[in-house]
Amino acid sequence: MLKKIILIILFSLYSFKIYSFEPYSGISCHSDQIMGKEEYFFKHDENHIYATAYKRINGQFIKVGNVVGQKVSSFLLFEDMTVDKYLNFAWHLDMVTKNLKPFILTVDDKNKFEMPEKYDCISKNFWF
């Protein structure tokens, strides 16, 4: 019994290295007109500026585009290549109200594209 107590004390004094990952900050969005939700997260570069956007598709996050504009604590404008492959499309996220609105960067024929719905979002951290 004394050996067990000594071992417990020795192991509690020994320091272990523990590694952890920081969460990715993102958003979870929903709309009253559309069933389901959209989830996005953003990775930053070495200067801690958001650089790439990822979207959850079939349970996995895939890269959907780059962040093309941002103002800290105001808005974030990021591409989404999954909406239409022939369209240069982006989402405008208002960081204050957490509203996600569609935004067309360039388009050849505006009559062929139907704009997606506006979403209401909440902030969410993704751990993986």
DSSP H helical ranges for the chain: 2-13
Tens digits of residue pLDDT in 35-81: 889 999 998 888 878 889 999 999 899 999 999 998 888 999 999 98
Residue 2 lies in a domain: no
Across the range 12-21, mean pLDDT stands at 72
User: For residues 45, 49, 52 and 53, what is the CA-based torsion angle, rounded to 10 degrees?
Assistant: 140
Tell me whether residue 59 is in a domain. Answer: yes
Asked whether residue 53 is assigned to any structural domain, the reply reads yes
How many helices and strands in the chain, by DSSP H and E? 1, 8
Number of domains the chain is built from: 1
pTM over 0.85: no
In a domain, 4, yes or no: no
Residue 11 lies inside a defined structural domain of this protein = no
Instruction: Tell me how far apart the alpha carbons of residues 32 and 7 are, in angstroms, rounded to a whole number.
Output: 59
Residue numbers of the domain that contains 62:
23-126
- Domain presence at residue 36: yes
- The answer as to whether 88 is a domain residue is yes
Tell me whether residue 75 is in a domain.
Answer: yes
Count CA atoms closer than 13 A to 50's CA, side-chain side: 24
Largest CA distance in the chain: 82
